[in-house]
Structure 1
Amino acid sequence: MLVAFALRPRTMPDSQTIVAAEQPVHLSHLRNVESFSTIPDPQARSVAVFQEAGRVIQHPRCMNCHPRTDRPTQTDAMRPHSPWVSRGPDDAGEPTLRCSTCHHQANFEASGVPGNPKWKLAPIEMAWQGKSLGEICRQLLDPARSHMNREQLLHHMAHDELVGWAWHPGGRRTRAPGTQAEFGALIQAWLETGARCPG
């Protein structure tokens, strides 16, 4: 007996928004600082706290803006930016094609193009893609590469509006885990426990 199946065309999501519609709870939340209090060794606690913060640091919402080359990446798959663009002399695009040409003051829902007033790449000295969490940790603590002291680093992670975009990316993009406040609290606890890095 033959069974006929009706084939219906499937609409593919826009390349900017190929993500899971909902994140599982265990992936979308961050452990709070208090949950690490049972680790008696301060150095081990510091590493554990940073590893939890690393779930944000190594999330595509952050990694896409910390590429290993002069070309940003896009989507959860971290594909090379399309159209082709380059960081330029100030990390905000080449003079002939600035980031702000397409990325405006806020997310533009009609086109799916994300936006923020500060939209640009992290300095090349802060390239994270292709690095271990331990390497990123040591990079963050090196003012020659991060261009920040520890107080500035905490403010950047906990309060910077471009970093905060990771929790409000618009469209169907996956958000970074937790909230910026929770992430900032983890960074603060990490710094207060000696800022130890994973091996």
Structure 2
Amino acid sequence: MTIRSAALALLVLATPVAAQDLATELSGPEVFSDIEDDASRAAALFDEMAKVITHPRCLNCHPVDNIPRQGDDMALHQPHVVRGEDDHGAVGMECTTCHSTENVAYTGAEGSIPGHDPWHLAPLSTGWIGLSNAEICAQLKDPERNGDRTLAEILEHNAEDGLVGWAWHPGEGRTPAPGSQEIFGDLTEAWIEAGASCPS
């Protein structure tokens, strides 16, 4: 871990993250078709994708440390849990101890426990909290930091993965990610086709 990443991790642990405007809409790739320069269009497309990527539904499971976040305010997970060696929690306190294969509404109170099969943190190398759109974009394109995925595999992940899709069906008490997984997939595809350039 570099000094910068260690400092960022401490900052993230110490500072509550303010939730962004969760009512943000998500535009489809056709909105950006008038941008003639491929690199500029790709950068604009990624900024639109980032409305999903930087939403609490995604960031909560993409921390830059070993503690998941929860809720629209991205509070530290309660009860206190840690990543564990395989991103599924510590032995005896795995994610599936509380998270089942589907969302479960509270009994006698508002809210729910989120669930999906599988349920786990994203790998530490894909932590996004505190990063700029440009930094996240560069990370997504780097096989050493994106789970050894090609751009085609990133498209498949964004457009079809069920755990990604959970972000639009997060259960009572959570704001869904903007748009839909279909639009997010369309944006990802258009970004790749335009050359996958990153915002500056």
Give your verdict on TM over 0.5. yes
C-alpha distance in structure 2 between counterparts of 1:167 and 1:128, whole Å: 19
Q: Residue 84 of structure 1: SS of its match in structure 2? A: coil
Structure 1 equivalent of residue 197 of structure 2: 196
Equivalence for 2:103:
107
CA deviation map 1:7-60 (0-9, x unaligned): xxxxxxxxxxxx9xxx64xx1x31111111111111111100110010000000
Decide which of 64, 70, 91 is 2:66's aligned counterpart: 70
Q: TM-score, normalised by structure 1?
A: 0.85
List structure 1 runs of 4+ shifted beyond 6 angstroms. none
Tell me the SS of whatever aligns to 1:38: coil
Cα displacement string for residues 133-173 of structure 1 (whole angstroms, at most 9, x for unaligned residues): 10000000000110211111111000000000000001031
Report the AA paired with residue 169 of structure 1.
Answer: P
- For the pair 1:138 / 2:138, whether they are aligned, the reply is yes
Amino acid at match of 1:118: P
Q: Which residue of 1 aligns with 2:53?
A: 57
The one-letter code of the counterpart of 1:50 is: F
Alpha-carbon displacement from aligned partner over 1:80-137 (angstroms, at most 9, x marks no partner): 0000000101000011100000000000012511000110000000010011110000
Which residue type is aligned with residue 100 of structure 2?
A: H
Identity rate, percent? 47
Larger Rg: 1
- Specify the SS of the correspondent of 1:82: coil
2:84 to 79, 85, 88: 88
Look up the SS of the partner of 2:30 in the other structure. Answer: helix
Alignment match, 2:9: none
Taking structure 2 as the reference length, what is the TM-score of the superposition?
Answer: 0.85
5+ unaligned residues in a row in structure 2: which ranges? Answer: 1-18
Amino acid at match of 2:121: L
183-192 or 38-47, larger mean C-alpha shift: 38-47
SS at match of 1:143: coil
Distance 1:118 1:150 in 2: 23
Aligned to 2:7: none
**RMSD (CA atoms):** 1.2
What is the total number of aligned residue pairs between the two structures? 175
CA distance in 2, matches of 1:172, 1:81: 15
> Does residue 34 of structure 1 match 2:35?
no
1:144 counterpart SS class:
coil
SS in 1 for 2:145: helix
Q: Distance in 1 between matches of 2:32 and 2:176?
A: 24
